[in-house]
């Protein structure tokens, strides 16, 4: 068979592929024990040189289970989002501030919503006054004033009627024109209407409020309250407040920037009075983990320092590995479950910081 450069190249590439596959298998078999199970490392008798060990120091002799972990505040890190889109108008806190539940963190611009709320509150006051007046009925001063007005209008009507009658007599004798009589008749009619209106108004005041009027005034008061509550809710939707006592971890936005729901949250928040580690434990080790088990966590930022803790809670769901240690030979085709460890001492640790944690079996 004739050997050609193309055939030689093909054979060479095939050999390189086989060698690369073999090296990959060897690396997976001897991968960093902080990224694989400690029990697997010990069973294989593999010793990892310290210069390749991301833990800085070897695992405790008693360690049975290990896993990558991340630091979290007590109760987890909360990503606080706004309900509506808009321009950031006010930031009330700074990163690192400790605030109480309900404290304002940030808000969008609220000029229109604030004005709408003020108008709605004024309408509530007016509607309440109308309703209370309908319930209590007219005051004595109002009745007396209406009676005086009715008497005055009655006197004017009588006077204008008398003047009309006299003018009609004069007109029959030729002493007044028809236009003068018509003007007098119109004035008398107007005064009679005004007198009737004043009389009806006095009668209404004496009789008091109708049941229907009271019900209408009350309904208008309730509607005004609902409108005010709607305006207040629209204003509150543009604010982000602390859901509980805690610390502002990060503020991704500055004043004037545009916030859109579904994008970056308006703030990251958590209770850092106690810290915890969320460990991704291989599902094969889950049956050995118990509540209260001792744990030791280490961070590459603090070589030689141990952060002790105890297992507080086991996750309720197994999922493909999502938390990686950043090593090129790290095993990724495994499934893990989260194990939550309460850290008894966590000075210097920050939310989101990566750890390696070891668990002691009973």
What are the tens digits of pLDDT across the range 41-74? Answer: 555 555 544 433 444 566 777 767 888 999 999 9
Task: Please give the pLDDT value at position 129.
Answer: 92
Contact of 145 with 129, CB cutoff 8 Å: no
> What is residue 28's predicted lDDT score, i.e. its pLDDT?
47
Alpha carbons 362 and 355: distance in angstroms, whole number: 23
**Same domain, residue pair 214 and 253:** no
- Whether 179 and 260 map to the same domain: the answer is no
| Same structural domain, 121 and 230 | yes
Residue 50 shares a structural domain with residue 124: no
Note whether 86 and 66 are same-domain residues: no
Q: Round to whole Å and give the CA distance between 80 and 247.
A: 12
Q: Let me know whether 100 and 186 are in one domain.
A: no
Do 247 and 101 share a domain, yes or no?
yes
Is the same domain home to 74 and 128? no
Tell me, yes or no, whether 6 lies in a domain. no
> Same domain for 276 and 353?
yes
Kind of pairing, strands 258-259 and 307-320?
unpaired
User: Does 2 map to a domain?
Assistant: no
Residue 161 CA: distances (Å) to CA of 157, 166, 250? 6, 9, 85
Indicate the average pLDDT of the chain: 82
What separation in angstroms does the CA of 322 have from each of 207, 328, 337, 353? 79, 15, 10, 15
Return the pLDDT at 177: 83
How many domains does the chain fold into? 3
Q: Is the residue at 202 inside a domain?
A: yes
pLDDT score of 243: 95
Let me know whether 199 and 162 are in one domain.
yes
Asked whether residue 8 is assigned to any structural domain, the reply reads no
- % of the chain beyond a pLDDT of 70: 78
Please report the pLDDT score of residue 331 as a whole number.
57
Q: Which of 275, 251, 246 is nearest to 72 (CA)?
A: 275
Cα–Cα distance list, 327 to 10, 31, 106, 331 (Å): 32, 9, 39, 9
Residues spanned by the domain of 198: 116-234
Alpha-helix residue ranges (DSSP H) falling in 92-139: 111-136
Final residue of a domain: which of 234, 250, 283? Answer: 234
User: Is 255 within 8 Å of 90 (Cβ atoms)?
Assistant: yes
- Residue 17: inside a domain: no
Question: Which one, of 342, 350, 354, lies nearest residue 74 by Cα?
Answer: 342
Q: What is the pTM of this model?
A: 0.62
Is residue 184 domain-resident?
yes
pLDDT over 50 (residue 147):
yes
What pLDDT shows up at residue 322?
Answer: 65
What are the angstrom distances between the C-alpha of 1 and each of 12, 15, 27, 115? 17, 20, 38, 92
Measured CA to CA, the distance from residue 203 to residue 282 in angstroms comes to 88
* 253 and 276 part of one domain: no
The answer to whether position 11 is within a domain reads no
In this structure, of 51-60, 285-294, 349-358, the range with the lowest mean pLDDT score is: 51-60
Is 38 part of a structural domain of the chain?
Answer: yes
Among 358, 348, 230, 221, which residue's Cα sits nearest to residue 294?
Answer: 358
What confidence tier does 120 reach under pLDDT thresholds 50, 70, 90? very high
- Return the half-sphere exposure (C-beta side, CA atoms, 13 A cut-off) of residue 313: 12
Task: Tell me, yes or no, whether 321 and 253 share the same domain.
Answer: no
């Amino acid at each position: 068979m004739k050997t050609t450069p193309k055939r030689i190249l093909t054979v060479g590439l095939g050999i390189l592929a086989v060698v690369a596959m073999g090296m990959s298998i060897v690396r997976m078999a001897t991968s960093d024990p902080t990224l694989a199970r400690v029990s697997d490392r010990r069973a294989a008798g593999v010793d990892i040189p310290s210069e390749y060990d991301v833990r800085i120091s070897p695992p405790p002799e008693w360690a049975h289970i290990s896993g990558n972990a991340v630091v979290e505040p007590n109760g987890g890190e909360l990503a606080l989002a706004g309900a509506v889109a808009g321009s950031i108008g006010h930031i009330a806190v700074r990163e690192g501030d400790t605030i109480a539940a309900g404290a304002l963190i940030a808000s969008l611009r609220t000029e229109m919503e604030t004005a709408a709320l003020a108008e709605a509150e004024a309408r509530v006051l007016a509607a309440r006054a109308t309703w209370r007046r309908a319930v209590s009925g007219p005051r004595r001063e109002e009745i007396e004033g209406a009676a005086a007005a009715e008497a005055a209008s009655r006197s004017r009507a009588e006077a204008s009627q008398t003047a009309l009658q006299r003018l009609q007599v004069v007109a029959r004798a030729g002493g007044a024109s028809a236009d003068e009589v018509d003007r007098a008749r119109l004035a008398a009619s107007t005064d009679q209407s005004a007198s009737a209106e004043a009389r009806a108004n006095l009668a209404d005041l004496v009789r008091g409020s109708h049941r229907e009027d009271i019900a209408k005034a009350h309904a208008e008061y309730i509607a005004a309250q609902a409108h005010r509550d709607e305006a207040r809710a629209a204003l509150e939707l543009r604010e982000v407040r602390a859901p509980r006592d805690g610390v502002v971890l990060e503020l991704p936005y500055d004043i004037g920037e545009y916030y859109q729901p579904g994008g970056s949250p308006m703030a990251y928040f958590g209770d850092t009075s106690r810290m915890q580690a969320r460990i991704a434990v291989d599902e094969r080790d889950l049956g050995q983990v118990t509540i209260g088990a001792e744990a030791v966590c280490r961070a590459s930022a603090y070589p030689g320092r141990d952060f002790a803790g105890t297992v507080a809670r086991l996750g309720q769901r197994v999922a493909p590995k999502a938390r990686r240690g950043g090593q090129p030979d790290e095993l990724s085709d495994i499934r893990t479950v989260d194990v939550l460890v309460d850290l008894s001492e966590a000075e210097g640790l920050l939310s989101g910081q990566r750890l390696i944690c070891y668990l002691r079996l009973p």
